Amino acid sequence: MKMYLRRFAIRTLIPIVWRISKDRAPATLQRFASTEADSAWQFLNALQADVDDELRNELFNNALEEVHHASEFERMSVECATSLVYKPKPERTALWNPRKPFAHFLAYVYVGESDVYQQFSAYSSAVKEAMTGQKNRRTFFDVAKEDEDGHLTLAKRALFQEFGSRRQAEREILKIRLRRAYQTWLRTSKQLGEVSTTMILGLIYFLAGPVFFLACRRRLK
Amino acid sequence: MDVLGISAYYHDAGAAIVSDGKVVAAAAEERFTRQKHDANFPKFAIDFCLQTLGLDARELDRIVFYEEPHLKFVRVLTSALAPFPFSSGAFVRSMKSWLSEKLWIQNDISKRLDVHPNKIEFIPHHLSHAAQAFLGSGFSDAAILTVDAVGEWSCTSLYHGSLNEGLKFELLEEISYPHSLGLLYAAFTGFLGFRPNDGECSVMALAAFGKPTYAEKVRQIIRSEPDGSYRIDQSYFKRDQFGANPFSTKFFDTFGPPRGFKESLPFSCFSDHLSLERTSTNQQRFADIAASLQLVLEETLLNLISKLSRMTGSHNLCLAGGVALNCVANSRIVNESPFEEIFIPPDPGDGGAAVGAATYSYYSTRSDLSNFKLSPFLGKEYDVSESVKLVRSLDIDGWNSHRMRESLPHPEGMRLQTEVYESFPELIPRVVDDISRGKIVGWFQGRFENGPRALGNRSILINPGNIEVAKRLSKTVKQRASFRPYAFSIAEGSAGQVLAPRKKVAHTTKWMQSVEPINESAAPLVKAAIHIDGTTRVQICGFDDNPKYHELLSAYGQAAGLPALLNTSFNESGYPMIASPAEALIVFARTNMDTLVLNNVVIRKST
């Protein structure tokens, strides 16, 4: 249900928003570049784990794919931007933890990649609407979507192998989904809190500003 | 006694650890996170520093942050309120980030590292820079100049450092915000279509193609004072715009419209296809503005340095802060300042300020620096055995789909050839052979460099006399603008064959911190690494500086006649220099790099 709602929202809103604001499309593409660069980093970081040759090879190839996605999204962002786009540099949090079983990392990969896969599916359709005549972007979303599907399959297969049982693997996936849902809730609450913070700070600005601005200007002479 | 230094939350976060007087580890956070100029809390750099000593954070004696957040907050608050009533957005944005995070750095560090807040100290930003430069220099007495964007309030500081009666830093003068040379250079960087706090090196490179026809106009902005200091005329800037478009109408009336970031610049430092006739008036205008800015910056720094010389009477000068990364200005300081010896630390910017914070804290109560030596090779060392396993199992058929756009596709049937050498001397002839045959070689050895310069441990190397290979390197590996020149390394003892005669050999040539003119007769031997003005950024490498790299240079000299290699940082455009073997393999896979050397393992692409 959530997936269909999100897909509907993206398909409906993106074409409108991207047409209204020229800055939105490059900023969104830059955000995707940042997400993909983070995924690449996660795979590279996980290469430190003691895993078999086949899995190590697959982790490396996934990292390579994600680096490619990041650079393509970045290129697309530059192509449609009219000015330099802000590059988000979020604080990295390693999903691979040497003190936890490798399956824990795979479960994270599975949940993360399925989320990205859904986003790319929705954007693939939305971009077609938003950028009529600009075929390449849709094609690349499709390519990236297929690659993410491949990562999903890998993560799922390796996850089942590591746990030895489908049920246990699904339980781990559920745990991670719940943890992510909780983090989303925290983020949303923080954003809601920021609305009131913005109002209070705005009020402080208009109360304190008239009193102090001349002194501040003198200090900056 | 173990002291951890931290820099974070502006740009280039980093960490360094000093144990019993020695800097045992230092690294920028970007090297671990693959995010260029990463300013986030340097948790990976700190982990690395602690792992190097096998310590838990709770065992640290002191933790030192590289600036005083409360003073900085007052400056941010002042500059957000000054443009009232036009700065509500900027005020709210900056206050949100300060009140939620940056102001509580003591609690933040304490919580993240699980240490008592009493162990955490703060030292002024410019003192961190000054300490990093002075303590690393080995001088017992020196004049110190720190110039950057802005610390708490200070943008430029003049110190006198001395060890004669215990460690002493005397602040002689400081020039406060908003009179900042670093911020001004960053603003011009944005005006010229590059990313501020990142593209300054492009401005410096572009300057060589221009004539300083706008110098008088830039001098109207950077106003020299009779005593040698300067003021920035704020009427050229808008007070209510922070970063996005800081220029006033007066600025545009003076310099014309800004360069769009996608507008091409057809300049090339490879002299064989230079065609200045192809450049439009507008493109030349940007080069002329860059040249003018560069010239006035150099004049201003020289004025400050003369003043510092008069104030201190010292023969030694230490430079630090982000502006000390300007190697063209550094050269003029070396050649024209009254100082006999000049020292710039390997990472003079904010990343390296963590080293300064930790060393200052350690040595503030001591004056015996016999244990202290500052090396650029303070980064992490990696075991490559896992990478060899990985290389042997790699399926490279799929690589073509994930290549850098500008790279040529790998030929069908391409395979990887891996050779593991028992000893380093056995490996050298193979690498020399590859470079001589025009191959692009990725060179990965030991601990990575702390700082922005590749000094032979994370480098891409080619024959410096072959322009065609350099062009291939620019296009298919580095994605580098053609107006940006390459640097080269040369074995100590042979530098005189290539570099024009100089009054003195400065320490700045050890770590690629200054540019040097090239002998006309030797120019063909290093033509791929010479800028359009006939200079190059050089690394003169002695055996003690980097034994393995020196050995490679010497062996190449025996084969090719000159022990010099074009040396550029091992990275793709938009990424920081690589740290780990896996990252090296990613660059190797995505680009047209021909050979990758991981410690004693050589990997080649072959059909």
pLDDT in tens, B428-440: 999 999 999 999 9
pLDDT at position B193 over 70: yes
Chain-wide mean pLDDT for chain B? 93
pLDDT at position B286 over 90: yes
What is the reported pLDDT for A21? 80
What is the interface pTM, i.e. ipTM, of the complex?
A: 0.93
Among candidates B82, B403, B405 on the partner chain, residue whose Cβ is nearest the Cβ of A75? B405
pLDDT at position B542 over 90: yes
What digits encode the pLDDT tens for the residues B139-192? 999 999 999 999 999 999 999 999 988 899 999 999 999 999 999 999 999 999
pLDDT: which is higher, B294 or A142: B294
pLDDT at position B34 over 90: yes
pLDDT at position B398 over 80: no
What is the reported pLDDT for A137? 65
What digits encode the pLDDT tens for the residues B451-499? 999 999 999 999 999 999 999 999 999 999 999 999 999 999 999 999 9
Summarize the confidence of residues B106-123 as an average pLDDT: 97
Judge: B389–A56 Cβ closer than 8 Å, yes or no.
Answer: yes
Judge: B401–A201 Cβ closer than 8 Å, yes or no.
Answer: no
Burial B16-46 (b: 16+ CB within 10 A, else e): bbbbebebebbbbbbbbbbbbbbbbbbbbbb
Quickly tell me which residue has 């003029």 as its tokens: B332
pLDDT at position B198 over 60: yes
What is the reported pLDDT for B385? 83
CB atoms under 10 Å from CB of B393, counted, come to 15
pLDDT: which is higher, A119 or B112: B112
Judge: B390–A57 Cβ closer than 8 Å, yes or no.
Answer: yes
pLDDT at position B244 over 90: no
Summarize the confidence of residues B320-332 as an average pLDDT: 97
Q: Which residues on B lie below 8 Å from A53 (Cβ)?
A: 389-390, 392-393
CB atoms under 10 Å from CB of A5, counted, come to 9
What is the reported pLDDT for A88? 87
What is the reported pLDDT for A160? 86
Judge: B582–A74 Cβ closer than 8 Å, yes or no.
Answer: no
Interface test with A, best of B10, B47, B92, B198 (most A CBs within 10 A): B92
What is the reported pLDDT for B367? 67
Please give the C-alpha separations between residue A190 and each of A179, B100, B105, in angstroms, as whole numbers: 16, 11, 20
Nearest by Cα to B457 from B468, B449, B469, B466: B449
pLDDT: which is higher, B569 or A4: B569
Helices B350-363/B125-137 angle, 10° precision? 70
Chain B residue closest in CA terms to A218? B82
Q: Which residues on B lie below 8 Å from A205 (Cβ)?
A: 81, 84, 87-88, 91-92
Interface test with A, best of B78, B100, B179, B572 (most A CBs within 10 A): B78
Quickly tell me which residue has 């957005």 as its tokens: B89
CB atoms under 10 Å from CB of B352, counted, come to 36
Summarize the confidence of residues B243-248 as an average pLDDT: 76
pLDDT at position B441 over 70: yes
What digits encode the pLDDT tens for the residues B203-229? 999 999 999 999 999 999 999 999 999
What is the reported pLDDT for B524? 92
Structural domains of chain A in order of their starting residue, each with its CATH number: 2-190 (1.20.1260)
pLDDT at position B100 over 70: yes
What is the reported pLDDT for A128? 66
Helices A2-20/A24-46 angle, 10° precision? 130
pLDDT at position B413 over 90: no
Percent above pLDDT 70 for chain A: 94
For strands B458-462 and B441-444, give the pairing. Answer: antiparallel
DSSP B544: T
Summarize the confidence of residues A12-26 as an average pLDDT: 82
Judge: A208–B195 Cβ closer than 8 Å, yes or no.
Answer: no
Partners of B267 in beta bridges: none
- The residues near B237 (Cβ < 8 Å, ≥ 6 apart) are B178, B187, B246, B247, B248, B251
State pTM to two decimals.
0.94
What is the reported pLDDT for B273? 47
Q: What is the CA radius of gyration of chain A?
A: 21
CA distance linking residue A134 with residue A19, whole number of Å? 13
Sheet (strand B141-147) strand order: B168-176, B154-162, B141-147, B316-320, B341-343
CA distance linking residue A182 with residue B189, whole number of Å? 42
pLDDT: which is higher, B77 or A13: B77
The answer for B231, left when phi > 0, alpha when psi is -120 to 50, beta otherwise, is beta
Contact B316, B141 (CB under 8 A): yes
Judge: A84–B190 Cβ closer than 8 Å, yes or no.
Answer: yes
Backbone angles phi, psi at B562, to 5 degrees: -135, 125
- The residues near A110 (Cβ < 8 Å, ≥ 6 apart) are A152, A155, A156, A159, A173
Summarize the confidence of residues B504-518 as an average pLDDT: 89
Among candidates B35, B79, B386 on the partner chain, residue whose Cβ is nearest the Cβ of A89? B35
What is the reported pLDDT for A1? 67
Helix (H, G, I), strand (E, B) or coil at B320: strand
Partners of B145 in beta bridges: B158, B319
Chain B residue closest in CA terms to A198? B92
pLDDT at position B245 over 80: no
Percent above pLDDT 70 for chain B: 97
Judge: A67–B88 Cβ closer than 8 Å, yes or no.
Answer: no
DSSP B483: T
Helices A166-219/A135-163 angle, 10° precision? 130
What is the reported pLDDT for A221? 81
Look at A115-119, B95-99, B260-264, B455-459 and tell me which has the smallest mean pLDDT.
Answer: A115-119
Quickly tell me which residue has 């008592």 as its tokens: B116
pLDDT band at B272 (very low <50, low <70, confident <90, very high): low
pLDDT band at B410 (very low <50, low <70, confident <90, very high): confident
First to last CA, chain B: 55
Contact B17, B25 (CB under 8 A): yes
What digits encode the pLDDT tens for the residues A153-182? 888 888 888 888 888 888 989 999 999 999
Interface test with B, best of A97, A146, A220 (most B CBs within 10 A): A220
Judge: A68–B590 Cβ closer than 8 Å, yes or no.
Answer: yes
Partners of B223 in beta bridges: B231
Chain B residue closest in CA terms to A46? B582
Look at A66-75, A127-136, A210-219, B360-369 and tell me which has the smallest mean pLDDT.
Answer: A127-136
Summarize the confidence of residues B311-326 as an average pLDDT: 97
CA distance A76 to chain B (A): 12
Q: Which residues on A lie below 8 Å from B393 (Cβ)?
A: 53-54, 56-57
